[in-house]
Structures are given as structure tokens and as C-alpha cells.
Chains A and B, each alone.
Chain A
């Protein structure tokens, strides 16, 4: 049963309206954890829940959710993606806002779901990547986090060039207590993950990953942060194979960490 969205036709960019609504009304927020995080990185989903609760917002998890369909769609299996898009729209229809700790999946939903399944556009327009939700909807940059480590931030391609989250993640990170944020050289170059690209073009993908890993190591940071675990899996897997002790940590987990409950 879908609760009618009271701000009809709202585009995701006009977050001001949603912000007011979230502040003043009982608005239902759901987490879209993504299939990768659900299966391999549950800690990231838990961090989102903990963080939003700390900021005073309860979060629902519609168990009917599975996957945004990006892997199938981007690999050319459009017919397989369509039922996943429909499933996504149905699962999240009752919610006023959907938060996801993946810039890549948020981009897939907002950019492609309406074009693949026009009926999915309403739900798709209410999907926010975590840093967008925090900065644009909740209007916060200081989320009360503490993370006393040297961190370098890799802006993933889809956060940078599809969602255009800009410096939102960095604005959030800069407010974290105790953090020593160091700039990543060549930050805006792709890490080479690219979904099935990593399997279909392993030589080029690995070469890109090795270059990115070398840049990360050159910063001297002990933590590598990004808004997408799939990219972190790629760079982290490369670092791990090279024996480097850099820890890949999702943005949500740093923002959820406090002195009492470190990441």
C-alpha cells in the first residue's frame, strides 16, 4: 500500500522541501542497503541505521528489496534488469525517502529506473545517496562522529560524475572529531572496478587498481574511505594482495563511529 507522496513531482534535487518535511512531519525513511552490502558488507548497512537513529530518524528496511539491477543493465542484460527495477519500485513505494550507502546504485536508480520502467520514476526520484541525504535533506555536516585516524578519501566515479555529490562527503568527513584527512593524488581517476569490467577486462582493470593503490599508499593513510563498497572492494583487494595494511572503510562507518562505539 503506497502512501501518497505529498510533494508530488518533487525532483531529488529540490531537497529543501524534503528537508522541511523530514523535520516537521512523520516521514518514512527506508534504507536501500544494496545487494553487495547486504551480502558482503552488512556493517555498512548497520552503520547507516545507527547514524540515522543517532540523528533522530528511524529507518525502515523493506525486506522485499534485493538489487537495483545495475550489474545486469550495465553488462547489456537489459531484460534481466527490468524485473529488478520493478521489484525495487514496489519494495520502496511506501516510503517518502530512500537512503542508500552506494553512489553507484543511487545513480542507477535515479538515472535509469525511470527510463526502463516509467512507473518507477516516482520512487526513483526519492532515492538519495547517504551524503546527499545528510547534507541536503537533513542539513547536517557535523554528525557527531569521532574517528581518530589518518584517512584518505577516494571520490568514486559515479558519486563524482553521475550523482555529482561534489564535496558533500568531504564536508562530512572534515567535521569528524580526531580525523586526519589527507588528500589523495589523482583522486578523480577511476579505480578500475567498473562492475563486470573487472572480470571482462582484468588486465586493464588490475593495472588501474594497482595505480590507485599506489596513490593510496603514498598518502600514508591507514584508512581508505569511499562512498561505494564495490570500489573499496577493488582497491582494498589490490592493497591486501600487495600486503599493504590500509583499511578500506565505507563513509557510513566513519560517520557512524563515536568515541563510545568506534568503527
Chain B
């Protein structure tokens, strides 16, 4: 994998092309449809249980906005507190720098293996590939990450459940093929698959000397790091090895310990639809006699300051990676996560990836359009990110940034010209009405020309009426001279 902000995904096709393939994959659609329908209903129940959800959401939003408005202050404070508690803080401008820091730290221990607990930040930097290039093996320990890692050439397709595109029998097949110690006669029962993962990783946990983790929240005024998880693989990684390296995006900092009371209520219910996730670990520096002796925190920019600089787009940095927006998104449910060409799929990915990577590539320029603007994502977002607003904002940036889609540009120009004048609109309507018997049969059109073919390939279009509303109004004085109006 080459250099770049998110090395893993360079050269991806644009969203519509990737999505077309996914839409044709019936098994993928069935897997996604079933999984997201299950979690949608559960989330709604978990949220409805708290009658102050709207107030929690508003507080969550305000805390995050406050952090972003004072980011330098809180990062400096966090750095000081972590250092005082015995940790070491590192900074990275981009993915390559973060990977270099982690590689150097692992090498300094003399180890050739690390265990990893699911981390979006290191997925984003392509850390595993960078470590492999340096001769260091990284073992993913989260069940879904493990499924993806064992599935040859597979990639994550969901923030919370990276293997959501796989159903239980596919997972069994992956384990049988790629897990040397998979039990004989392994079935596709989820409990058996979980047990296989437990056995497979147990020796790794007990012998690992170095772990790499992500961070859900970092409390600035106490220097406390917080990781939420379910399986216990996080606890294993955070406590058993001698060296712990945690990588976090700079936006993950929160001001005080008390602020955590908001996010510990918002995140689990939005994410796994539970009142609380099975395990949450917090630690402050190092604790003699318990857990790692050496703790390193890597603070990652990688496009986040570019995002911060955009006053509308900035709200994407409020994201707490719950994935509720993916689970309600009708586009995600049909296109699947891979079509987004980024570790961040779904609605949040459509606004985050083009901001942290820039709108240079085809896939990034197409992502702001990967939405019908239905607004379901905004409704469920626990920190009230107005995703449709940011999508439309980024569309304007994409249009202003360069000469893509000349045909669309011309059509929009022509439509704008016609619509700026009622006389020109009326003329266009008369032309359309005159053509109605040519283009349509039985009041409908089955084939449209040029770019409109994209419509008529699957949908009929209405034939233009004999007269427009404005022509009718003018002819009948608003229906007053027409009988039975």
C-alpha cells in the first residue's frame, strides 16, 4: 500500500459504480437488510426508554462543539495530564507519521507481534499494512475484525460490525478455511463461532507484550482514556501486555470526567442498542502492579484540522462512531459499506471521508451525492450532526472545485436559465405539451433520451399534460370561467 491519508482505499471506483455491483448482490442485500432491521428496532426501544433523550443529545452536541471551539486548549491539557500520570504523548500530522510512530515504539520493545483492539483511527491510517511492511504482525482481536482479517482480501464494511456483510454461514466458512485451530465440525451457531474465536485468541492474549488500541473518549482534565467494547478482547489488550499504544483522532477529547455521563448514556444505546455495553475500561497513565508498565498515546490529525477549518463541515467531528446512521440509512442497506471506499461508510462516511481526504478522487467527489437526503441519519444521530446539511454543503464544494460532469453542468445551467423567467418556463412547458403524443403513450413515457435514460431504465415517466397549470390558470382565470371547477 502506498502513501496517502488513507492508504488502503486508493483507486476505488466512484460510489455509483461500486454501488451498482453491490445492489446486484442478493446475498449481501439480504445480510445487510436483516442485520440493520434488527438493530434499528432495538435502538428505537433503547432510546425510547430515556425520556430525556433529546436533552442528552443536545448536551452531547454542545460538549463536542465546545471542544472543537477550544481544541488547542484541551489537547494541551490532555497532553499534560497524561504525561503527569506516567504516559507518553506523541503527535502525528498524517497517517504515515502515525504509523511511523507506532512502528518505532513496537520496534523499541523488540517484539514482532502486537494484539489489537478494534480502532477506527488505525483502520484509517492503514497501520496493519505499515506494521507488516516493517515485519511486525498485527492480530485483530475483535470478532468482526478477526473475520475480516481472516477473510482473504476482505475489508470492513461497517463502523461497529466490520463484518456485517457476512452472515453466520459465511463466517463459519471463513473460520474453517483460515483459522488453523478451528474445532472439527464447527457449525454456524453464533455461540460456537464466538467460542472458536475465544480459543483461537486466548494464547495470543496471554503471551502478547504489546497492544495497540483506539480510544472512544479522552478526558482532558484528568488525562483518562476510555474504551467501550463488548467481548473482553479490549480488556485483554488494555491490561495484559507490558506496552500499550493508543491511537486517537484529536477530536476525541472531552473536557471533564463529568462530561462522560452524557456520552456513556448516548453511545451504547445508539450503537449496540444496549443500556450499557458489556465492558468499558478507563485508565489514567500507568498503575503500578496493574496493567501495562509503558503507555503511549498518539494524537492524530490526518485531515481533521482541514475539517475543523470548514465551519459547516466541522460538525462531522462531533461523531462518536456509534453507527446508528448506517443502520437507518436506506442507501447503505442497499449499497453496502464497501461502496463508500473508506473505513467510514454510510452517511457519516459520506461527509467525513471527503473532508479528511479532500474531494480530489472520484470516490470522494461522489460521496456527498451518495444520499437521497431523506434525513433518517440526522434523526438518529446522538450528537445531532445534520448530515444532510453537510452533504449539500459538500456538493456545493464539489461543484465549485472542478470540471466534473460537464453534461450535468450544462443541464443545470439550462434549467436555471429557463426557471429564472416565467416566460421562458411557459415556453418550455408549451414545447413539452406539444410533444406529449410523440413521446408518451397512454400518458407515460417508457424511454427517455440522454442522461435521463438513467431514469427510464427502471421507471416510467409521466407524459407532459395538454397544458401546464399556468396555461390553465391564464385560459380560465384560475378556473373561474371553467365549468365545474
A and B touch in the complex (CB under 8 A): yes
Which of A64, A157, A210 is B422 in contact with, Cβ under 8 Å?
A64
**Closest approach, in angstroms, between the C-beta of B264 and any C-beta of chain A?**
28
Given contacts A66-B425, A72-B415, A75-B395, contact A201 B369 (CB under 8 A): yes
Which of B24, B470, B479 is A63 in contact with, Cβ under 8 Å?
B470
Given contacts A194-B373, A204-B334, contact A74 B415 (CB under 8 A): no
Please state if B371 and A197 are interface contacts (CB–CB under 8 Å). Answer: yes
Looking at B52-60, B122-130, B132-140, B460-468, the stretch in contact with chain A turns out to be B460-468
Please name all residues of chain B whose beta carbon is closer than 8 Å to the beta carbon of A187 when the two chains form the complex: none
Please state if B465 and A42 are interface contacts (CB–CB under 8 Å). Answer: yes
| Alpha-carbon gap, A38 to B478, bound state (A) | 13
| Alpha-carbon gap, A233 to B425, bound state (A) | 20
A58's nearest neighbour on chain B, judged by CB, is B478
B335's nearest neighbour on chain A, judged by CB, is A204
Interface residues of chain B: helix, strand, loop or mixed (majority): helix
Q: What band does the interface of chain A fall in when counting residues whose beta carbon is under 8 Å from B?
A: 35 or more
Say if the beta carbon of B30 comes within 8 Å of chain A.
no
Which of B372, B408, B416 is A194 in contact with, Cβ under 8 Å?
B372
Please state if A38 and B429 are interface contacts (CB–CB under 8 Å). Answer: yes
Which of A49, A83, A236 is B478 in contact with, Cβ under 8 Å?
A49
Please name all residues of chain B whose beta carbon is closer than 8 Å to the beta carbon of A196 when the two chains form the complex: 369, 408
Please name all residues of chain A whose beta carbon is closer than 8 Å to the beta carbon of B331 when the two chains form the complex: 201, 204, 208
Please state if A37 and B370 are interface contacts (CB–CB under 8 Å). Answer: no
Which of B369, B375, B394 is A197 in contact with, Cβ under 8 Å?
B369
| Alpha-carbon gap, A73 to B415, bound state (A) | 12
Please name all residues of chain B whose beta carbon is closer than 8 Å to the beta carbon of A202 when the two chains form the complex: 16, 454-455, 457-458
| Alpha-carbon gap, A161 to B329, bound state (A) | 14
* B-contact bits for A29-50, CB 8 A (1 contact / 0 none): 0000101011111110110011
| Alpha-carbon gap, A121 to B286, bound state (A) | 57
A191's nearest neighbour on chain B, judged by CB, is B372
Please name all residues of chain A whose beta carbon is closer than 8 Å to the beta carbon of B459 when the two chains form the complex: 198, 206, 209, 234, 237-238, 240-241
| Alpha-carbon gap, A207 to B334, bound state (A) | 7
Say if the beta carbon of B48 comes within 8 Å of chain A.
no
Say if the beta carbon of A144 comes within 8 Å of chain B.
no
- Interface members, chain B 444-485 (any A CB < 8 Å): 444, 446, 451-452, 454-455, 457-462, 464-465, 467-470, 472-474, 478-479, 484-485
Please state if B479 and A194 are interface contacts (CB–CB under 8 Å). Answer: no
Say if the beta carbon of B215 comes within 8 Å of chain A.
no
**Closest approach, in angstroms, between the C-beta of A91 and any C-beta of chain B?**
8
Say if the beta carbon of A205 comes within 8 Å of chain B.
yes
- Interface members, chain A 47-77 (any B CB < 8 Å): 49-50, 59-61, 63-67, 69, 71-77
- Interface members, chain A 66-116 (any B CB < 8 Å): 66-67, 69, 71-78, 80, 83-84, 87
Please state if B425 and A205 are interface contacts (CB–CB under 8 Å). Answer: no
Say if the beta carbon of B419 comes within 8 Å of chain A.
yes
| Alpha-carbon gap, A198 to B331, bound state (A) | 12
Given contacts A39-B432, A40-B464, A73-B392, contact A46 B485 (CB under 8 A): yes
Please name all residues of chain A whose beta carbon is closer than 8 Å to the beta carbon of B175 when the two chains form the complex: none
Please state if B374 and A157 are interface contacts (CB–CB under 8 Å). Answer: yes
| Alpha-carbon gap, A49 to B476, bound state (A) | 12
Which of B370, B374, B469 is A190 in contact with, Cβ under 8 Å?
B374
Please name all residues of chain B whose beta carbon is closer than 8 Å to the beta carbon of A43 when the two chains form the complex: 465
**Closest approach, in angstroms, between the C-beta of B106 and any C-beta of chain A?**
41
**Closest approach, in angstroms, between the C-beta of B57 and any C-beta of chain A?**
15
Please state if A78 and B457 are interface contacts (CB–CB under 8 Å). Answer: no
Q: How many A-B residue pairs lie within 8 Å, measured between CB atoms?
A: 200
| Alpha-carbon gap, A160 to B376, bound state (A) | 10
| Alpha-carbon gap, A162 to B24, bound state (A) | 31
Please name all residues of chain B whose beta carbon is closer than 8 Å to the beta carbon of A71 when the two chains form the complex: 415
Please name all residues of chain A whose beta carbon is closer than 8 Å to the beta carbon of B461 when the two chains form the complex: 233, 237
* A-contact bits for B145-165, CB 8 A (1 contact / 0 none): 000000000000000000000
| Alpha-carbon gap, A226 to B367, bound state (A) | 29
- Interface members, chain A 175-220 (any B CB < 8 Å): 188-190, 192-210
Interface residues of chain A: helix, strand, loop or mixed (majority): helix
Please name all residues of chain B whose beta carbon is closer than 8 Å to the beta carbon of A197 when the two chains form the complex: 369, 371-373
Please state if B458 and A45 are interface contacts (CB–CB under 8 Å). Answer: no
Please state if B23 and A192 are interface contacts (CB–CB under 8 Å). Answer: no
Which of B399, B413, B484 is A261 in contact with, Cβ under 8 Å?
B484
Please name all residues of chain B whose beta carbon is closer than 8 Å to the beta carbon of A200 when the two chains form the complex: 16, 369, 454
Given contacts A77-B399, A200-B16, A206-B459, contact A46 B479 (CB under 8 A): yes
Say if the beta carbon of B379 comes within 8 Å of chain A.
yes
Please state if A194 and B16 are interface contacts (CB–CB under 8 Å). Answer: no
Which of A65, A83, A208 is B372 in contact with, Cβ under 8 Å?
A208
| Alpha-carbon gap, A223 to B357, bound state (A) | 47
Please name all residues of chain B whose beta carbon is closer than 8 Å to the beta carbon of A35 when the two chains form the complex: 419, 425
Say if the beta carbon of B9 comes within 8 Å of chain A.
no
Say if the beta carbon of B69 comes within 8 Å of chain A.
no
- Interface members, chain B 371-395 (any A CB < 8 Å): 371-376, 378-379, 392, 394-395
| Alpha-carbon gap, A240 to B167, bound state (A) | 34
- Interface members, chain A 147-191 (any B CB < 8 Å): 157-158, 160-162, 188-190
| Alpha-carbon gap, A73 to B416, bound state (A) | 11
**Closest approach, in angstroms, between the C-beta of B14 and any C-beta of chain A?**
10
Given contacts A71-B415, A199-B452, A199-B454, contact A38 B468 (CB under 8 A): yes
Kindly name the residue among A65, A162, A192, A201 whose own CB sees the greatest number of chain B CB atoms within 10 A: A201
The 8 closest A-B pairs by CB, nearest first: A194-B372, A76-B395, A237-B459, A190-B374, A161-B375, A80-B416, A76-B399, A42-B469
Given A40-B464, A237-B444, 11 new contacts (CB under 8 A) = A35-B425, A46-B479, A59-B478, A61-B470, A76-B399, A189-B330, A200-B454, A203-B19, A207-B23, A208-B334, A237-B455
Chain A residues proximal to chain B, CB less than 8 Å: 33, 35, 37-43, 45-46, 49-50, 59-61, 63-67, 69, 71-78, 80, 83-84, 87, 157-158, 160-162, 188-190, 192-210, 233-234, 236-238, 240-241, 261
16 A-B residue pairs with Cβ-Cβ distance under 8 Å, sorted by A, are A39-B464, A43-B465, A46-B469, A76-B398, A77-B399, A77-B416, A83-B416, A84-B416, A84-B420, A193-B372, A197-B371, A199-B454, A199-B455, A202-B458, A207-B29, A236-B462
Chain B residues proximal to chain A, CB less than 8 Å: 15-16, 19-20, 23-24, 29, 330-331, 334-335, 368-376, 378-379, 392, 394-400, 408, 412-413, 415-416, 419-422, 425, 428-429, 432, 444, 446, 451-452, 454-455, 457-462, 464-465, 467-470, 472-474, 478-479, 484-485
